[in-house]
Amino acid sequence: MLAENARQIVRSLGYTQTPADHAFGFDYEHNEYRFWYRKSPEPLVVYEQIEAPNRWVASLGLVSSFRPPWRIPGEIGLRLTPTGELVYFCAIPEASTNASTPATIAWSAWFPKSLVGMDLRELQPMTQGELPTPDASDQVWLGKGRRPNTTNEIYVEAAGYRGKPVYFEVLRSSSRGPVNDPMLPPRTISAAHILNYVVSNLVLAVACVLAWRNFRSGHIDRRGSVRLFLFVFCVLLITYVFMAQHLFAYAVVHMAVGQAAQRALFLAVIYAAMVPYVRRLYPETLSAWARLLEGRWKDALVGRDLLIGMLLAVIFELLRQWEVLLPQVFGLAPQPLIRSSRSALASLSTLAGWTVFETQQAIGDALYDLMTLLLLRIALRKRTLASVFFVILMTVWRTLEGAHPILGWGLWLAIYSLRLSRASISGARLEPASV
């Protein structure tokens, strides 16, 4: 429905050419979902390996509102509210020698109240220069005012080029910024990203050394490492099948194989590095895992740990929802809703892709956490001390990542304490027979 509405809006603004490619999905900004749509005269092939400059997350070949970057004349994009109101429009004009610039433009005719949810004629005009001006434009209109039945002030900017609309945006007073790069990804890098990057690379570097030592000494679990590598590699390739826009483009195939192999090798190296040490220092944690890798799917210990994990996952999510609800109880600053993956809302294909992707992501998070705990145990030599430092480190990281500045500390402290207690629960001496 929203995609067809977006196509009709583009046609109503005078852009009737049939595109070579198009894409749509959802973004989340200012605590609200926004539907985005873009079309291009050329195929939308994603070459970028990471999601955004401030997020070291694999792009998975998925087209977004800003990926691949906007650079081709004739590209058009827009954003809609969930109710279908236009809040953003941008078109990169094509070269033209015939069109002329009209003396006056009826902005409210291009962007009527039925389309944008307000009458532009009722807004207070602003002088040019109070807001940044789009690059490709020869006519610009600025206005400020309020939406019907609201008290928050908004800013509206519209632009035309040679008699056609090329830009429209509804801005909040706190979000005014440069508009020269349409649908630009966020570029701020938080302290949480830096901490995650440093710790991840440190863990990987130490894991490579330990894995090599285990290989030289003959203590490496080759079969388990190979099976883990193949599982993660295949899962990520399947993810690309569901999510990549142009699966058989050379750049996408190259990126899919490379990213899948890199991620699979990363987890296989961590597993190969930690197994001998975990068996000695935390022998209870890998019992069910080892049986699973041996193909003993019906083993009671595997089933028990799976049920414990599912129960704790539900508890974790309930605790995270309290981060949204509790601030209102104590009169603190509200926390944004914990939302689903934006891409998973676009189609059943991307939903299936994210579901498959999360299977290896969960395994990776568990191995990463266990490797971090193991390194702390080796460095500090005391199990209790290592556990305390692990909980503190992970709590600081998660809080810096965007948790509530007051309640987030207690929330993640409880979650990571429970994650450590899961190892103790799973480590109870139990040797059940296979079912």
Strand, helix or coil for residue 76: strand
User: Is the confidence at residue 396, as pLDDT, over 60?
Assistant: yes
pLDDT at 336 over 70: no
pLDDT of residue 335: 63
Q: Tell whether the model's pLDDT for residue 185 goes beyond 50.
A: yes
Lowest pLDDT segment from 34-38, 195-199, 204-208? 195-199
The answer, yes or no, to whether residue 193 has pLDDT greater than 80, is no
Q: What is the mean pLDDT of the segment spanning 4-21?
A: 91
Do 41 and 74 form a contact (C-beta atoms < 8 A)?
yes
pLDDT category at 52 given cuts 50, 70, 90 is low
pLDDT at 301 (0 to 100) = 86
Average pLDDT over residues 344-367: 86
Higher-confidence residue of 365 and 332: namely: 365
Residue 25 burial by Cβ neighbours in a 10 Å radius (0-12, 13-18, 19+): buried
| φ, ψ of residue 140 in degrees (nearest 5) | -135, 140
The residues near 362 (Cβ < 8 Å, ≥ 6 apart) are none
Closest by CA to 119, choosing from 141, 142, 148, is 148
Give the model's pLDDT for residue 425: 40
Q: In the predicted model, what is the mean pLDDT of residues 257-274? A: 92
Taking residues 401-418, what's their average pLDDT? 76
Q: Average the pLDDT over 253-265 and give the result.
A: 91
Neighbours of 96 (CB within 10 A): 12
CA-derived radius of gyration, the chain: 26
- Provide, rounded to the nearest whole percent, the portion of the chain with pLDDT above 90: 21
Quote the tokens at residue 405: 């500045």
Residue 306 CA: distances (Å) to CA of 298, 302, 303, 311: 11, 6, 5, 9
Note the pLDDT of residue 428. 38
Kindly state the helix (H) or strand (E) to which residue 355 belongs, with its residue range: helix 348-380
Task: Please report the pLDDT score of residue 420 as a whole number.
Answer: 77
Reduced to 3 DSSP states, what percent helix, strand and coil does the chain have, rounded to the nearest 5? 50, 15, 35
- Identify which of 35, 70, 47 has the alpha carbon closest to the alpha carbon of residue 342: 35
| pLDDT 10s digits, 130-173 | 555 566 777 888 888 888 777 778 888 888 888 888 999 988 76
The answer to whether the predicted template modeling score (pTM) of the entire model surpasses 0.85 is no
Question: How far is the C-alpha of 365 from the C-alpha of 281, rounded, in Å?
Answer: 20
Give 184-237 as a DSSP string.
Answer: PPP----HHHHHHHHHHHHHHHHHHHHHHHHHHHT---HHHHHHHHHHHHHHHH
- Closest C-alpha among 187, 430, 411 to residue 302: 430
For the chain, give every domain's residue range: 2-175, 191-426
* Separation CA 220–CA 213 (nearest Å): 9
Is the pLDDT score of 99 beyond 80?
no
Out of 17-31, 51-65, 176-190, the most confident range is 17-31
Strand partners, 142: 157
